[in-house]
A and B are shown apart, each in its own frame.
Chain A
């Protein structure tokens, strides 16, 4: 199965790596769990069986999509169609659908390559904007000195709770009528996504930046460093793990978004992201349904690669945001 993650060995080495990152040296006690592991394994054969069943149920849908995407059209729709699992009986496959959804010309084309580029063009600036602005604000919330700092920070945290849905209608009229942002450009999407990403970004980065030892910053101040130097030369380099996890969050969130795109993009191939196009072509039932699996796979391949490749950082970010509070 192709969708599967890195082999066990790589995963293990990444685990040792993350342990090293946390500054926890391996101790002699680490060898004790091995004994225990042997013991638990004997008693928990049923648990393992249950785990395998869950893992299978969770994987089969995606695997079915992948297999469907390379089956010929006649096998997917029409009188001679059958289930994707029959692929393992006939081994009849084609990559034509992938070419069709990305490269084919004409008004009937799904034209995904253009929307794919749109997604990148939306995601990359937004991620940069959120990272820079959120880390600046988080630095002040962690190390700045002003009255009402605590209250303001909790207010920012609470902003996460405003549902996007609540912001959409007024924001759209603000963008088009007051700011007169040009239609058919990415500007509306960039700004909207940045606005919506800031509260969580500030919160996550603050958790990390406030843990940086105060002595480091004091020492820099004694050496005559100003706020800007401290921020760019000390805070940011030390926060790379947190920045990485926020970047992944932001990337996945924006790439996978549909609602914001529907409201602000206008839906043309000039601006609309791939999720919006995907929702469009899968929503219209027709004689081209056999293209849907390939189209879906094109859209999930980037986030999936980012996600599985950088899982370690992502998980660490989740933990920093969730557990440390």
Chain B
């Protein structure tokens, strides 16, 4: 049990040191003379978070941007890393896969999530039904990878299948398929895992938004003779536009950064790599930090427009307030 004691001690010390630091800040702020008290409070409350974010996010981001223009031994090499990225077949496949992911995952998750939210709205046992689809959101992507490897499991023809999908294929008279090996469709089968996770997220947000659409509007449309599809298309969807944008952007960002699913299911082999996985492989496995940094920089540039858009919306909302 020695290891356990050591681990406990580490956690305890960390928490104690942290509490002491925070206590110290509070004490200084509290005892400060009135003239500087307000300023000191602002500094004391903001500084710890600000320092951590500057050191942990801003500085590394700047550093990585420079690193992207160096080679494996740290010498500047101009745009070679980017030339590599846009000319080498395997790097191009990575970019292509990332695009496919970013298009399909937000779209499918939102469609399934919205459909499900509409279907179960006001149904008996709504909360239980919601929890079933929401559950994958709480499962780690590593766990999801193992779950779906089991689903996609492959045995040669003529042997009992152990994966659900292949068992169904065989039952329907088809040959079993190596879902994760056959490019290019294996990327689609990885994408399904991410859709499985993200649909619950989309569903919960959209369901709450649907409940926020005034009942009177839907009722009025119904009295005017709109059928359910028209009610949905012309009343509900415009009413939840804000939530739809949030869901689409959030899932897009999450998808751009997807790493664990690819890592655990194929490790990026068989033409399934995506930017985030390739970045890890190049920087920490292949000894090419420059290429890894270049990939990270591209990832940043892809996410940037979405964030600028969100920040602008945020700014407008705060001005209204």
Binding site for B on A (CB under 8 A): 3-8, 11-12, 14-15, 33, 36-37, 40-41, 43-44, 47-48, 50-51, 54-55, 58-62, 64-65, 68, 76, 81-85, 114, 117-118, 121, 124-125, 128-129, 132-134, 136-137, 139-140, 144-146, 150, 154, 156-171, 174, 185-187, 190-192, 194-196, 198-199, 202, 226-228, 231-232, 252, 255-259, 262-263, 269-270, 275, 278-279, 282-283, 292-293, 295-296, 299-300, 303-304, 306-308, 311, 315, 318-319, 322-323, 325
A interface, over-half SS: helix
Enumerate chain A residues within 8 angstroms of B148, measured Cβ to Cβ.
61
Enumerate chain B residues within 8 angstroms of A137, measured Cβ to Cβ.
45-46, 49-50
Enumerate chain B residues within 8 angstroms of A166, measured Cβ to Cβ.
60-61, 64, 293, 296-297, 299-300
B181 within 8 A of A: no
Enumerate chain A residues within 8 angstroms of B276, measured Cβ to Cβ.
163, 165, 259
Cβ-defined contact, B147 with A296, below 8 A: yes
Which residues of B96-148 are within 8 A (CB) of A? 112, 115-116, 118-120, 122-125, 127-129, 131-143, 145-148
Set A37, A84, A304, A307: member contacting B162, Cβ < 8 A: A84
CB-based A-B contact count at 8 angstroms: 358
Enumerate chain A residues within 8 angstroms of B14, measured Cβ to Cβ.
125, 186-187, 190
B286 within 8 A of A: no
Cβ-defined contact, B52 with A195, below 8 A: yes
Q: Which residue of chain B has its CB nearest to the CB of A270?
A: B3
Known: A15-B127, A83-B162, A311-B131. A279 touches B311 (CB 8 A): no
Enumerate chain A residues within 8 angstroms of B57, measured Cβ to Cβ.
159, 162, 167, 195-196, 199
A85–B49 alpha-carbon span in the complex (Å): 51
Cβ-defined contact, B127 with A258, below 8 A: no
A59–B134 alpha-carbon span in the complex (Å): 10
Size of interface on B: residues with Cβ below 8 Å to A: 122
Cβ-defined contact, B48 with A133, below 8 A: yes
Binding site for A on B (CB under 8 A): 3-4, 7-8, 10-11, 14-15, 18, 22, 26, 29-30, 37-39, 41-42, 45-46, 48-50, 52-53, 55-61, 63-64, 67, 112, 115-116, 118-120, 122-125, 127-129, 131-143, 145-151, 160-164, 167, 196, 199-201, 204-205, 208-209, 215, 228, 242-243, 246-247, 250, 253, 256-257, 259-260, 263-264, 267, 276, 279-280, 283-284, 289, 292-293, 295-297, 299-300, 303-304, 306-308, 310-311, 313-315, 317-318
